[in-house]
Structure 1
Amino acid sequence: MRAKSHLTSAASFVVIILMIWYAFHSQTPSAQVEENLPATEWSTARALEHVKAISLKPHYVGSNGHNEVRDYIKDEFTKLGLNVTTQKGYDISWNGNMSQPENIIARIKGSQPDNKALVLLTHYDSDPHSSKGASDAGSGVATILEGVRAFLAQNKQPKNDIIICITDGEELGLNGASLFVNQHPWAKDVGFVLNFEARGSGGPSYMLVETNGGNRKIIEEFMAAGTDYPVANSLAYSIYQMIPNDTDLTIFREDRDINGLNFAFIGDHFDYHTELDTYERLDRNTLAHQGSYLMPLLSHFSNLDMTDRVMVDKGEDLVYFPLPLFKMVTFPFSWLAALIIGSGILLLLLIVHGIRKRRITLKHLFGGFVPFLGSLVIGYLLSNYGWAAVKTNEIYVDMNTVFPYNGYWMIATAAFAAITVSFFLYHKFYHRDRIASLSVAPLVLLWIISLAIAFPVGDGGLIPNVYLGGAGFFLVPLLAGLVMLWLNIHQKGPSYILLLILAVPAIFVFAPFIKAFPVALGMSILFVAAVLSALLFGLLIPILGHYRKKGLLAFGSLIATVVCLCFAFAKAEFSQTQPKPTSLVYVHNQDDNTAQWATYDKVLSDWTKEKLGTEPQRAKELNANSIDSKYGTGFSYAAKTDYKNLPKIELEITADSTVNNLRTVKFKVTSESVVHRYEAFADDKYSFEKATVNGLEIRKSGDDQRPFSNRWGNRFLSYYVTDNAALEMELTFDASTEPEIIVYAASFDLLEQEQFNVSQRPLDHMSMPFVLNDAVLRKRTIKLSKNVKSEELPPVEDVTHG
């Protein structure tokens, strides 16, 4: 009898392992890159051809590669028989990032032209300065190109028009989307948007709802479309609403109140915005996942009556999450209060019932909190402080992507460490008559979590500013856990088959989050992987509690922890496939004829030391005016160097007038040599009543309702240049003040200019992302003194020192 018990326990354990594996594996289709699929089907192989063509070189706004990619996309849509146009104009983001994007636009006519149109949206610019943009967002362009081709091959005219909008300038400040939404005549026709994005190069693509109202109708239509691999949950929806959003689709929602869906993958985040974002590193399963979303949704929404723009009132929300066989499970937010109260009452009644049946004792019930809370606390401590101990290693310090090369192994280590602790502690508390008692603690904690974050109170929750109604699907594994508790109360040896079926919600709800949270939010929350692993273990106690060999399983889990840790440490080094991010900038001060080498590197490599030496100075002075970067990164070190004979930044006052104590000065900044980006700074004590840049009037914002109110430090403008166009500014300000404007002109060609004698970056190095890099940065200051003339500006001497 015992041998049979061991055999069935072992079999159930294997099934649990397989279910956890499947919870991850089933999130994306298996991309068989077949070459000869029917023309009417979406093909990964055909989409990959577009990715390869788009990602041959960096194609940021203003680069030669940018023009080539634009022309390629236009030609491919033209080959499909579409009339392709472009929309070009200046736009500036809320935080002062300005460019002249050129959107690519086409339209497929529907049979009912008065209907609202569906927009297929992505962007084609890569991030400055080194990213090849295969995933972000070459994958989006390829998904839409292949999807439109397959759709047209079906020869079915949709009811609604389909607008294809491939935006530009997304990486700089959503400039292309803003240009389309606010200036293109087709924007008024839009009823719904499908946006394809990336923040890594692999992993499942997550569906995220973008709406000012409720999500009910969007989710209902998403389900009706019948996508095969929906990776979507309402907790992500609730979190997404609480944090700043920054996709092109956000502009549609904020400026036109248009609903839509984002599809974005975030795995392999270490490739994001780097030169590693290549055709070779793009996960083929991930690309296939994007296609599996597009085709059914394109067919469904292009024939859906979108007169209401798929909009419902705010508050009409559904809780939703994926589950095998069901694909998506949903229920209204309005059920949450009743479900939380009801599940709490059921839990209490089961405890009382178990005590009466003498299957639960108060002693062992409260004792069950010791191994459960102990595994949570110890797992948290091991992962949190373990990460704190290793993150000072060189491989983590300069990884601005917040997710390191060995991140997955670190997550696995944290998870297995928590499981090891759980097996060990529950081994110490094991007795075959205590299983029901030990099962209570995890259910109580899960109910408390649901009550704290998902119970609705007015417009929020029980905890001020923290209401995540989307987490209401936690109640599903809770209810399944209550049934498992009931079975263990009534039977000493309940059926493993029934228990495993009831374990499905816990495994498929919580297992994917073990990896997803650290990948999405960074290694600073690595502890979440350990905590969720311990929580999942606790919810499976109605099954695992029957295992007699927990000590042996603890030892096996410890071995797995050590193996994962060894792999993590083995991967904690730079190589050609895991290059070290490095940075170098030549700062050329044309005000005082001085120059410096500067870097963002916190740990200098031999390559950067060639220019900065072994004892560079901290770059405090340079950071007084911080150059725009994604994560607010400032220069770390600087070293004085020879002042080169570089072309001047020309400053010209073209108009100066004063009316009613308001002075308006118009000036022009030009350069004979290439400029990819201008940065403009002014002390924040200076404010402007009106501002125009290159003919674009800057919108007033902030509490004071003035232009450039949302400054980052003293920076008020970052202008990304196309075709070496000049920077022309017209500023109106208090006539009693004399603002000083500091202008930087950056070109991303430092390594190409022989006069700087910069050696080739080693093969195990790469250009650091998210910062100004590999650049020549020239500085010039203009003080707008009263009656200043162009000829009175400080001269720039042509001198070379050294």
Structure 2
Amino acid sequence: MDRLPNVLGLLVVLLVGVAATVVPDPAAPLGADAPPDRFSAARAAEHIDVVAAEPRPLASPGHTAARDYLLRELEDLGWDTTVQEGVGWFSPTDSHTRRGARLSNVVATLAGTDPTGTVVLAAHYDTVTASPGASDDGIGVGTVLETARALADGERPRNNVVVLVTDGEERGLLGAQLFTTQPPPFPGPMVVLNHEARGNAGMPLTFRISSPNADLVRILAQAPDALADSFTQTAFEALPNDTDFRRFDEAGLHGYDTAIAGGSAYYHTPLDTPDRLSRSSLQQMGDVALATALTLGATDLTALGGGTDIVATTPWGLLYYPRWMEVALTLVLAVAVAVLAVVRIRRRDASAGQIGRATGVALVAAVAAGGAAFLPWWMSQRVVPGLGSVPISEPYRTGFYQLAAVVAAVGVLTTAYVAVRRRFGAPAFAVGALVVVTLVALAALPFMGIASVLVLPALPAVLGVLVAEAIPQRSTWWRTVAVVAGLLPAALVTVPAVLASFDAGLMFGAPLAGAFVAVLFALLLPLTGPLLPDQGAVPIAVLTVFAVVGCTLLGGYINRAGATAPRQEEVFYSLDADHGEAVWASPDRPRSDWSADLLTESPAPLPDYFPWRPGTSLAHGPAPIAPLEPPRVDVLDDAQVDGGRVLQLRLSSPRGAATLGLWVEGATVREAIVDGAAVEPGADFGFLYTTENPEGIEVRLDLETTGPADEVEVRVADLSGDLAVVPGYTPPDGKVVVGPIVAVTRTVVR
């Protein structure tokens, strides 16, 4: 059999796929001398250098300095600037500890000439503990400030524009919640452009758009280099992250959620510094923000509430089409695959039974490919815990681990194909693999965008095979041309999708990449099938193992200690003032000799030391007693009421910790007021609250008591983040500590 047409066809498809991943150039950053009507990454970076000079957790000096800087800059630009103050609360679904804070949103307004509504440019200025937050969310702050400058320097827009830099996003989207629960600065509809980061590089993707999205997608498509994908809207829900967009969407506002996700090993760490932030990512985010804001500023926003949802994707620029078309194309794919199956059966290339059994094997192989892609990085972390970042377990240099994931998926699929080829026949397996793709697409139809990432590459590929089947057998080259033509959309869509999957991080992205590899493998079988042997599954499996191990070892080598940015540690300290005992603890196992010396005991829950994580098993070990005064509890009132008591307390931190906590045992809280704001009551009630007020907070608890003699146990704590207060503490050499906590706890019985 002449294999040359297949070889050349496969090379063409792969070259097109590679070109689709490398041809799109990142945005070229513009300098400070760029025209005033253009977004300049250099000018935006000047703002980031200032706000990310130090960490900005709530109520910290850096937090206050950043807020003051934002106010000065926006006032100097001529915007009407104010601070929106209030209290925000968040009740996690996985914990009884509510999280709250006293907040200060920065709100600046530019009145429109003939407004039909308001365009909101949003970002947040707070960070997690110990992180300068140059990307999260310095990139958002720089984007909205430079966009605000360009808007103020240009012709005033028709619609009102608001710059909203929220507070308390990291504590539970608190600032966005506060903004949506208070009267808006202007009447009429609002459209929010929210800017975020889960890393310090990569192309900004608008991964969520409010519903109905038809008009919003069309407006976004007018911006140069805008990227959006409906698939990510569903996929994002599987990640342990969220943004202020959630609160805007819940409040019924129109909006876009745009973020970068490359370089995620630096996310939420002390290494998220301005020098590590991609200027190209900043430029592209700013270009899209400014262009979209200008378009929205001239649009009749009252018309945005109509329309329907449409599907958006970016295989070669921003492509969008009606939702009904996604359904129709999926049904056409199902018909086309069914026709192909009938053709194979009628020509006696395969039987219905063979296709059915091959479908089952192909499904198992696809699942196994996703699992195999997950294994290299997962096993690497088991062997060398310090390889991955603390927040999302990502290495600094991901390339060889990504290659290992792809090789593992390809190896599993190839091994499965060769193992069953002689039993089922190549035509049966090829059809069965397409049946799997089709069934997944049909099952995904209730979730907008998922079917499209399968149908857009698969439907042309199947049609190409059907055209090839209509060409006489002797016309080998023309048959190959038909197959290759049908596979070009798959190359343009699926190969970039494999790489884009890794933006979700190796833990989540590697299995997703393995799934896309399985789709591409299924579509390529008309070309690759004749090139693969009829037997030899075991040697292929062995070769795959060696290749995967080799790539994994290379990944470990280039990420070895000292060859990259500093490795990361996660360590907490807590002092139980009642018993005069202290512990080091971590939700992670020891990552180095340094943390192993601190965390000498096996993981176990430590509710007395960490009452906000009572069920979490923590690696721990004894720690020195720090000379830290415990939180103070002043009883302002203790009144008996029908069926319970009302306790009025003042909770404060003599050592100046900004975060205060309280947990109630032996009673159900019927009503709770903290710092003047109501908190969701309930059994097992507790909260963590952050405030700049050195006098602390007042707490009013209406209790339904159940314990003996109506005794109520109140556990209190205060939290800070400087481990240097612990006697003898020595920072790890060549490493950084992520999210440090210093807690002091005590119990009050009333």
Name the CA distance, whole Å, in 2 between partners of 1:174 and 1:425. Answer: 46
Residue 305 (structure 1) aligned with residue 300 (structure 2): yes
* Partner in structure 2 of residue 411 of structure 1: 402
Between 256-265 and 543-552, report the one with greater CA deviation.
543-552
* Cα deviations by residue, 1:151-194 (Å, 9 ceiling, x for unpaired): 333x2221110011011111112121122221244275452111
Name the CA distance, whole Å, in 1 between partners of 2:506 and 2:543. Answer: 28
TM-score by length of 1: 0.82
* Partner in structure 1 of residue 466 of structure 2: 486
**Which residue, out of 633, 645, 648, partners 1:666?**
648
Call closer, same or farther: CA 1:17–1:779 in 2, change over 3 Å.
Answer: same
Equivalent position amino acid for 1:639 in 2: P
* Cα deviations by residue, 1:438-489 (Å, 9 ceiling, x for unpaired): 64233211111112221x5xxxxxxxxxx55642452222320221111321
TM-score by length of 2: 0.87
Instruction: Give the C-alpha shift of residue 397 in structure 1.
Output: 8.3
* Cα deviations by residue, 1:498-524 (Å, 9 ceiling, x for unpaired): 544432332343334434445426516
Aligned positions, number? 732
* Partner in structure 1 of residue 314 of structure 2: 322
Q: Is the 8 A contact 1:598 1:635 kept in 2?
A: yes
2:487 counterpart SS class? helix
* Partner in structure 2 of residue 288 of structure 1: 283
Call closer, same or farther: CA 1:644–1:472 in 2, change over 3 Å.
Answer: closer
Call closer, same or farther: CA 1:550–1:147 in 2, change over 3 Å.
Answer: farther
Residue 762 (structure 1) aligned with residue 740 (structure 2): no
Equivalent position amino acid for 2:742 in 1: V
Equivalent position amino acid for 2:567 in 1: K
* Cα deviations by residue, 1:528-554 (Å, 9 ceiling, x for unpaired): 323321321221233444658999998
Gaps of 5+ in 2: 93-97
Give the aligned CA root-mean-square deviation in angstroms: 3.6
Q: Is the 8 A contact 1:626 1:715 kept in 2?
A: no
Equivalent position amino acid for 2:340 in 1: L
Name the CA distance, whole Å, in 1 between partners of 2:9 and 2:696. Answer: 70
2:276 counterpart SS class? coil
Instruction: Give the C-alpha shift of residue 44 in structure 1.
Output: 1.9
**Which residue, out of 703, 711, 714, partners 1:741?**
714
* Partner in structure 2 of residue 461 of structure 1: none
Q: Is the 8 A contact 2:381 2:388 kept in 1?
A: no
* Partner in structure 2 of residue 152 of structure 1: 152
Call closer, same or farther: CA 1:585–1:19 in 2, change over 3 Å.
Answer: same
Name the CA distance, whole Å, in 1 between partners of 2:31 and 2:275. Answer: 17
1:101 counterpart SS class? strand
* Partner in structure 2 of residue 175 of structure 1: 174
Gaps of 5+ in 1: 457-466, 699-706, 785-802
* Partner in structure 2 of residue 186 of structure 1: 185
Name the CA distance, whole Å, in 1 between partners of 2:523 and 2:615. Answer: 41
Residue 591 (structure 1) aligned with residue 578 (structure 2): yes
Call closer, same or farther: CA 1:109–1:26 in 2, change over 3 Å.
Answer: farther
1:682 counterpart SS class? strand
Q: Is the 8 A contact 1:47 1:145 kept in 2?
A: yes
Name the CA distance, whole Å, in 1 between partners of 2:428 and 2:131. Answer: 55
Residue 64 (structure 1) aligned with residue 61 (structure 2): yes
Call closer, same or farther: CA 1:353–1:53 in 2, change over 3 Å.
Answer: same
Equivalent position amino acid for 1:602 in 2: R
Q: Is the 8 A contact 1:379 1:530 kept in 2?
A: yes
* Partner in structure 1 of residue 95 of structure 2: none
**Which residue, out of 235, 241, 253, partners 2:231?**
235
Q: Is the 8 A contact 2:390 2:569 kept in 1?
A: no
* Cα deviations by residue, 1:651-695 (Å, 9 ceiling, x for unpaired): 211123334444222111223322121121223x52222211111
Call closer, same or farther: CA 1:581–1:17 in 2, change over 3 Å.
Answer: same
Call closer, same or farther: CA 1:663–1:450 in 2, change over 3 Å.
Answer: same
Call closer, same or farther: CA 1:532–1:147 in 2, change over 3 Å.
Answer: same
* Partner in structure 1 of residue 244 of structure 2: 248
1:494 counterpart SS class? helix
**Which residue, out of 518, 542, 567, partners 1:580?**
567
1:602 counterpart SS class? coil
**Which residue, out of 754, 760, 781, partners 2:747?**
781
Residue 653 (structure 1) aligned with residue 635 (structure 2): yes
Call closer, same or farther: CA 1:62–1:337 in 2, change over 3 Å.
Answer: closer
Name the CA distance, whole Å, in 1 between partners of 2:728 and 2:335. Answer: 75
Q: Is the 8 A contact 1:93 1:173 kept in 2?
A: yes
Instruction: Give the C-alpha shift of residue 14 in structure 1.
Output: 4.2
Instruction: Give the C-alpha shift of residue 74 in structure 1.
Output: 2.0
Call closer, same or farther: CA 1:290–1:587 in 2, change over 3 Å.
Answer: same
What is the aligned-residue identity percentage? 24
Residue 89 (structure 1) aligned with residue 86 (structure 2): yes
Name the CA distance, whole Å, in 2 between partners of 1:534 and 1:616. Answer: 44
Call closer, same or farther: CA 1:411–1:670 in 2, change over 3 Å.
Answer: same
* Partner in structure 1 of residue 272 of structure 2: 277
Equivalent position amino acid for 1:691 in 2: A
Q: Is the 8 A contact 1:123 1:140 kept in 2?
A: yes
Name the CA distance, whole Å, in 2 between partners of 1:729 and 1:669. Answer: 7
Equivalent position amino acid for 2:635 in 1: I
Name the CA distance, whole Å, in 1 between partners of 2:595 and 2:355. Answer: 61
Name the CA distance, whole Å, in 1 between partners of 2:460 and 2:572. Answer: 58
Name the CA distance, whole Å, in 2 between partners of 1:152 and 1:762. Answer: 48
Residue 750 (structure 1) aligned with residue 716 (structure 2): no
Q: Which residues of 2 match residues 198-213 of structure 1 at below 5 A?
A: 198-211=197-210, 213=211
**Which residue, out of 71, 74, 88, partners 1:74?**
71
Q: Is the 8 A contact 2:359 2:435 kept in 1?
A: no
Residue 520 (structure 1) aligned with residue 498 (structure 2): no
Q: Is the 8 A contact 1:738 1:783 kept in 2?
A: yes
Name the CA distance, whole Å, in 2 between partners of 1:22 and 1:616. Answer: 51
Q: Is the 8 A contact 2:326 2:451 kept in 1?
A: no
Call closer, same or farther: CA 1:428–1:766 in 2, change over 3 Å.
Answer: same
1:538 counterpart SS class? helix
Q: Which residues of 2 match residues 103-182 of structure 1 at below 5 A?
A: 103-113=105-115, 115-127=116-128, 129-153=129-153, 155-182=154-181
Residue 266 (structure 1) aligned with residue 261 (structure 2): yes
Equivalent position amino acid for 2:310 in 1: L
Instruction: Give the C-alpha shift of residue 589 in structure 1.
Output: 2.4
Equivalent position amino acid for 1:734 in 2: E
Q: Is the 8 A contact 2:228 2:318 kept in 1?
A: no
* Cα deviations by residue, 1:397-427 (Å, 9 ceiling, x for unpaired): 8743233205443222121233345556767
* Partner in structure 2 of residue 564 of structure 1: 551
Q: Is the 8 A contact 1:395 1:573 kept in 2?
A: no
1:60 counterpart SS class? coil
Call closer, same or farther: CA 1:760–1:16 in 2, change over 3 Å.
Answer: same
Equivalent position amino acid for 2:728 in 1: N
* Cα deviations by residue, 1:610-664 (Å, 9 ceiling, x for unpaired): 6x3xx833464623564557x98653112153x4443343221112333444422
Name the CA distance, whole Å, in 2 between partners of 1:639 and 1:407. Answer: 36
Instruction: Give the C-alpha shift of residue 726 in structure 1.
Output: 0.3
Name the CA distance, whole Å, in 2 between partners of 1:281 and 1:414. Answer: 26
**Which residue, out of 474, 481, 495, partners 2:454?**
474
Call closer, same or farther: CA 1:766–1:633 in 2, change over 3 Å.
Answer: farther
